């Protein structure tokens, strides 16, 4: 049945910086309520701003809460990469496969110089290289870097390298992980096809547009003949094969793809070109899109996949530029996405939004980035979630700035049985409060949630904390994170104190030769209170100063005027430097540079000390005096604020003596 939805916007910090389209509506079966968000950052100082979108089913009372976090950086510009992961396939002993392009983008009002370095695991040949290792990026003019691999000297197996890009900006460095699957030297049929799709735009009545070239590369051990099949109306589409369809090992062939627009009405025409090596079974599908513009619209034949109810057409056409039709990817491994988005009027989508998601996979989504130097091209990386069903569907949704035109494309594919680490979207939280949608602090304890994060469960046995537990390691912005615990679904770590606040940093979790990607938004401070239920709610882990073995709970309430020690994390930058994960000495005491405030039962409490707990690593404590005017009770609220950020409310028991 249909759902009646009523929505509400609630600001947790600041006000007026977020606007939305209507939060109310009726959702038909299989349909959606799409809400557009607008941000006004000119009125804000650098910092972290939070809001909640509350959606309520007016019939059943069911409520869904969507947290919104806005990080306003002090620096300009910021750096962005078109992809955070690239995947290659090669044959053992093979010299190379077609390069893939990485764009370095400047986001803001100015540009920057950057440098890039490829690295692979120690002891291996340097199989990863770049076409350039430095350059300049400016708004509207991103720099291009070709990423190349070479399997000479590598045995069959999976390899992981990285491209580290550094620049004098707040969110530097940025990483692009490179996965190389080396197939056995005996692999006979191995074809790489680029690009994965073409878009033709033609004004009605004009001469046919220029042909576009499709390259097929043979990275197998044997020559093969390319067999191809063109679906759809051959009066519109044509494919001219090379003079010799036989492709030698390490060789390539070029196909010319063309269209005939004579007599075609204004509209959209689409079909698929399928290619296969004669000695193999893998079919490569190429998406072909033709948009005829310039006159009154008429119904045009469309050979594309039928749109589902949740994926209706709406004026924008999406074409894949990578091999996305019938894609195959390891479970949890990032999927590199390249698309071209064009309106029915033939104009490329430059401003708007393109989002990729896995159908039925909840919050596993990725926002794509527009490549200004190639109008209409949108790039990004999506982590595929674990799935019991090997068949998956990828949905691409596009909309222009005004929201008037939309587009949708669904692609089917498969994931294999491997178990690459898969980080949950928004799954990096305070290890104390588990506050969803909040930032985390430099030096803070975080809990990373997902699947396949570790091969077993291992806890750190000594200080300083190690950066490797089992085969699991974590880095944030290229800085190794000391680990407290590593398990298959949760890893607890401590962030570096050197992370720049108010920006989003990349998190890389590696388990052996496999990896998962995430994002971490940092604030100058983001306190989180440890609680008895270990979920960040209810009774605080707060002990009596007179007897630190007793919790201030109903069995041992604290009295007004007595001392209390509250344990927490996330107080931020310290007045005296210390390495994350190191043992905290008793002298000098490490205190936060930001002011710490505590209210108990709504009454301001005197803070006697706030800072790192000596003898441990990463744990903070706040020593306070319970105000005399606090009203006693079994669940008296405690609110901790550091700088401008407040922790979720916890409780203690207070009783007069």
User: pLDDT tens-digit profile of 47-60?
Assistant: 999 999 999 999 99
Supply 428's token pair.
């990096």
Confidence class for position 540, pLDDT limits 50, 70, 90: very high
pLDDT at 641: 97
Q: Which of 478, 497, 503 is nearest to 175 (CA)?
A: 478
Write down the pLDDT at residue 321. Answer: 86
pLDDT for residue 79 is more than 60:
yes
Note the pLDDT of residue 306: 39
Q: What is the pLDDT of residue 36?
A: 85
pLDDT of 111 strictly over 90:
yes
Residue percentage of the chain with pLDDT more than 70: 93
Please check the confidence at residue 305 and state whether its pLDDT lies above 50: no
In whole angstroms, what is the distance from residue 216 CA to residue 196 CA? Answer: 11
pLDDT-based confidence at residue 416 (cuts at 50, 70, 90): low
Q: Among 65-79, 313-327, 423-437, 552-566, which is the least confidently predicted range?
A: 313-327
Q: What pLDDT is recorded for position 418?
A: 59
Mean pLDDT of 512-538: 93
Q: Rounded to whole angstroms, how far apart are CA atoms 400 and 417? A: 37
Is the pLDDT at 385 greater than 50? The verdict is yes
Task: Give the pLDDT of residue 560.
Answer: 96
Nearest to 625, CA basis, from 537, 566, 538: 566
**Could you tell me the pLDDT band of residue 294, with boundaries at 50, 70 and 90?**
confident
Q: Is the pLDDT of residue 295 over 70?
A: no
Report the pLDDT averaged over residues 467-496.
Answer: 96
Rounded to whole angstroms, the Cα distance separating 632 from 450 reads 41
Question: Which residue in 589, 613, 610, 612 sits closest to 598, CA to CA?
Answer: 610
What's the average model confidence in pLDDT over 220-240?
A: 89
pLDDT of residue 301: 38
Residue 558: pLDDT over 70: yes
Contact predicate 287/198, CB 8 Å:
yes
> For position 87, what pLDDT does the model report?
86
pTM of this structure: 0.88
> Residue 304 has what pLDDT?
39
- Please give the residue that has the higher pLDDT: either 656 or 30: 656
Across the range 615-639, mean pLDDT stands at 97
Q: Is residue 324 pLDDT above 70, yes or no?
A: no
Rounded CA-CA distance 20/7 in Å is: 10
Mean pLDDT of the chain: 89
Q: Given a cut of 60, is residue 367 above it in pLDDT?
A: yes
The β-bridge relationship of strands 490-494 and 483-486 is: antiparallel
Q: With 0-12 CB in 10 A as exposed, 13-18 as middle and 19+ as buried, what is 64?
A: exposed
Mean pLDDT, residues 582-597 taken together: 96
Check pLDDT > 90 for residue 497. Answer: yes
């Amino acid at each position: 049945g249909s759902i009646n939805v009523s929505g509400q916007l609630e600001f947790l910090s600041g006000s007026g910086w977020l606007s939305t389209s209507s939060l109310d509506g009726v959702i038909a079966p299989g349909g959606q309520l799409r809400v557009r968000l607008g941000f006004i950052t000119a009125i804000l100082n650098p910092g972290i701003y939070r809001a909640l979108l509350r959606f309520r089913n007016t019939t059943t009372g069911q409520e869904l809460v969507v947290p919104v976090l806005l990080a306003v950086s002090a620096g300009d510009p910021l750096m962005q990469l078109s992809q955070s992961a690239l995947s290659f396939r090669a044959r053992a002993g093979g010299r190379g496969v077609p390069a893939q392009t990485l764009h370095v983008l400047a986001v803001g009002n100015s540009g920057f110089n950057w440098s890039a370095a490829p690295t692979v695991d120690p002891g291996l040949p340097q199989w990863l290289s770049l076409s350039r290792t430095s350059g300049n990026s400016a708004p509207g003019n991103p720099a291009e870097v070709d990423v190349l691999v070479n399997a000479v000297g590598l045995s069959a197996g999976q390899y992981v390298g990285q491209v580290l890009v550094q620049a004098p900006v707040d969110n530097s460095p940025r990483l692009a992980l490179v996965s190389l699957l080396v197939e056995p030297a005996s692999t006979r049929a191995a074809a790489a096809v680029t690009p994965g799709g073409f878009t033709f735009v033609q004004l009605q009545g004009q001469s046919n547009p220029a042909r576009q070239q499709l390259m097929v590369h043979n990275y197998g051990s044997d020559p093969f003949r390319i067999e191809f099949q063109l679906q759809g109306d051959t009066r519109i589409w044509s494919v001219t094969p090379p003079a010799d369809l036989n492709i030698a090992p390490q060789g390539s062939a070029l196909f010319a793809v063309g269209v005939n627009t004579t007599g075609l009405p204004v509209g959209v025409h689409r079909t698929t070109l399928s290619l296969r090596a004669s000695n193999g079974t893998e079919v490569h599908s190429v998406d072909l899109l033709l948009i005829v513009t310039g006159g009154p619209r008429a119904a045009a034949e469309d050979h594309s996949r039928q749109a589902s109810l949740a994926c209706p057409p709406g004026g924008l056409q999406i074409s894949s530029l990578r091999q996305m039709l019938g894609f195959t990817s390891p479970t949890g491994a990032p999927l590199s996405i390249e698309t071209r988005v064009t309106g029915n009027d033939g104009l490329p989508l430059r401003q708007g939004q393109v989002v990729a998601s896995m159908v039925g996979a909840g919050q596993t989504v990725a926002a794509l980035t527009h490549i200004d130097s190639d109008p209409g091209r949108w790039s990004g990386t999506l982590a595929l979630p674990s799935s019991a069903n090997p068949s998956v569907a990828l949905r691409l949704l596009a909309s222009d700035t005004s929201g008037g035109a939309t587009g949708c494309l669904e692609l089917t594919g498969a994931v294999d049985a491997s178990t690459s680490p898969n980080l949950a979207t928004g799954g990096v939280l305070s290890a104390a409060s588990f506050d969803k949608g909040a930032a985390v602090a430099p030096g803070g304890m975080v809990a990373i949630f997902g699947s396949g994060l570790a091969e077993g469960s291992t806890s750190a046995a000594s200080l300083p904390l190690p950066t490797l537990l089992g085969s699991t390691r974590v880095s944030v912005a290229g800085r190794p994170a000391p680990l407290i615990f590593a398990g298959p679904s949760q890893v607890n770590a401590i962030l570096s104190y050197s992370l720049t606040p108010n920006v989003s940093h990349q998190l890389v979790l590696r388990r052996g030769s496999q990896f998962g990607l995430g994002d971490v938004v940092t604030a100058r401070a983001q306190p989180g209170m440890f609680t008895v239920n270990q979920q960040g709610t209810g009774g605080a882990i707060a002990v009596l100063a007179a007897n630190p073995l007793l919790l201030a709970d109903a069995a041992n309430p604290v009295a007004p005027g007595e001392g209390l020690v509250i344990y927490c994390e996330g107080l931020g930058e310290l007045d005296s430097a210390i390495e994350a994960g190191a043992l905290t000495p008793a002298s000098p005491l490490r205190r936060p540079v930001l002011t710490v405030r505590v209210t108990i039962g709504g009454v301001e409490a005197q803070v006697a000390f706030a800072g790192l707990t000596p003898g441990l690593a990463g744990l903070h404590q706040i020593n306070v005096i319970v105000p005399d005017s606090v009203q006693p009770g079994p669940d008296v609220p405690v609110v901790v604020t550091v700088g401008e950020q407040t922790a979720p409310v916890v409780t203690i028991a207070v009783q007069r003596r």
